């Protein structure tokens, strides 16, 4: 029996030119390169220039993914843009990207699950492709967190960066086994009781302002390792894969210590873990597609490889997706 699978046919990413180093941050707030590098693994992050927005970053990443997939605007009939930093409260930034790309068919909408947004977006696109609602989707993660940071708060402003990553997902026929290319399984979770540990202190309906990011870092850290292993174990159980038999682990890039802790707990050798947090910082919904694109471009992730994507973020939200490339 044949089934529909959502196959990744192209990846792309875009990073703003401006690089902000730890040493520069140390001149802005009471911090040091040593503290940031030791506690997070971050060395630098990219910051959007004046005139660059989430939509412009997303559009460039999407163009590159479409070029890699060999498709044009006429081939795309679904755009899901994961972001917590939209250009406007409404309309969705995804429709701005749709217009910029010249896509005239299908639907475009934003996905709001903060750092888990890309995993939520891939899962949603996969569901729509498998039910025949669309044939070829762009799933984009794009953020300009620099615009919602409190640049006087050293506990948060050193952690985040801007950027965008995208993939093209295409409905193709599979045999219904784990040898198929495409999304093999997805597991999403959320728990709204943790809202106060990671949130933005403004919004259209509460304060009428955009607000700034607030985080109880230690609390988020504690939750991250446990939650993430939870959904990954579900993904392993659903497919029969384990830490040894997957080819690549591409986790959300928030903190090198969280990534290494999760890998250890799941018996995933560090040589299989894609890490970009040192160069990109935490780019929220953009972090996984940025890391994926880096590993595709440098030849690590290849057709047929089994790739585990995982994220955890504000909400709390978290999730895991297992894909055969």
Residue nearest to ligand UT7 (CB): 217
Length of the chain: 325
Output 154 or 300, the one with its CB closest to ligand UT7: 154
Q: Where on the chain is the footprint of ligand UT7 (CB under 6 A)?
A: 31, 35-36, 39-40, 115, 154-155, 158, 217-218, 220-221, 224, 254-255, 258, 282, 313
Q: What is the distance between the alpha carbons of residues 122 and 22, in angstroms, rounded to a whole number?
A: 32
Name the phi and psi angles at 163, rounded to 5. 165, 180
Task: In angstroms, give the least distance from the CB of 296 to ligand UT7.
Answer: 23
Q: What is the distance between the alpha carbons of residues 276 and 280, in angstroms, rounded to a whole number?
A: 6
Task: In angstroms, give the least distance from the CB of 141 to ligand UT7.
Answer: 12
Task: In angstroms, give the least distance from the CB of 36 to ligand UT7.
Answer: 6
Output 10 or 117, the one with its CB closest to ligand UT7: 117
Helix (H) or strand (E) holding 173: strand 162-174
From residue 8, give the alpha-carbon distance in Å to each of 11, 132, 206, 296.
8, 17, 39, 11
Task: In angstroms, give the least distance from the CB of 104 to ligand UT7.
Answer: 35
Tokens of 12: 């792309």
Tokens of 201: 């202190």
Task: Tell me 166's DSSP state.
Answer: E
Residue positions annotated with a catalytic role: 115, 252, 282
Q: Does the CA dihedral 66-72-78-82 come out positive or negative? A: positive
The SS3 call for residue 18 is strand
Output 155 or 242, the one with its CB closest to ligand UT7: 155
Output 11 or 22, the one with its CB closest to ligand UT7: 22
């Amino acid at each position: 029996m044949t089934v529909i699978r959502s196959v990744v046919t192209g990846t792309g990413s875009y990073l703003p030119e401006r690089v902000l180093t730890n040493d520069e941050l140390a001149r802005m707030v009471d911090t040091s390169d040593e503290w940031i590098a030791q506690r997070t693994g971050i060395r630098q992050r990219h910051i959007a220039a004046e005139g660059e927005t989430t939509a412009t970053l997303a559009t460039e990443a999407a163009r590159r993914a479409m070029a890699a997939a060999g498709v044009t605007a006429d081939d795309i009939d679904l755009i899901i843009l994961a972001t917590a930093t939209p250009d406007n409260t409404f309309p969705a930034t995804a429709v701005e990207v749709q217009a910029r790309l010249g896509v005239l068919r299908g639907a475009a909408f934003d996905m709001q699950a903060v750092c888990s947004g890309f995993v939520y977006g891939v899962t949603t696109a996969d569901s729509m492709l498998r039910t025949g609602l669309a044939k070829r989707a762009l799933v984009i993660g794009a953020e300009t967190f620099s615009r919602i940071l409190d640049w006087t708060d050293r506990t948060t402003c050193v952690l985040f960066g801007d950027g965008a990553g995208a993939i093209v997902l295409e409905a193709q026929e599979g045999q219904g086994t784990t040898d198929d290319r495409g999304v093999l399984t997805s597991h999403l979770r959320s728990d709204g009781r943790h809202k106060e540990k990671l949130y933005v202190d403004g919004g259209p309906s509460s304060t009428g302002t955009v607000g700034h990011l607030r985080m109880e870092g230690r609390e988020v850290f504690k939750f991250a390792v446990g939650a993430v292993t939870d959904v990954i174990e579900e993904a392993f159980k659903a497919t029969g894969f384990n830490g040894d038999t997957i080819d690549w682990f591409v986790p959300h890039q928030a903190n090198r210590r969280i990534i290494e802790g999760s890998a250890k707990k799941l018996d995933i050798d560090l040589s299989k873990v894609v890490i970009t947090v040192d160069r990109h910082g935490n780019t929220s919904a953009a972090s996984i597609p940025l890391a994926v694109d880096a590993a595709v471009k440098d030849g690590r992730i290849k057709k047929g490889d089994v790739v585990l994507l995982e994220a955890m973020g504000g909400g709390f939200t978290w999730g895991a997706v297992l894909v055969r490339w």
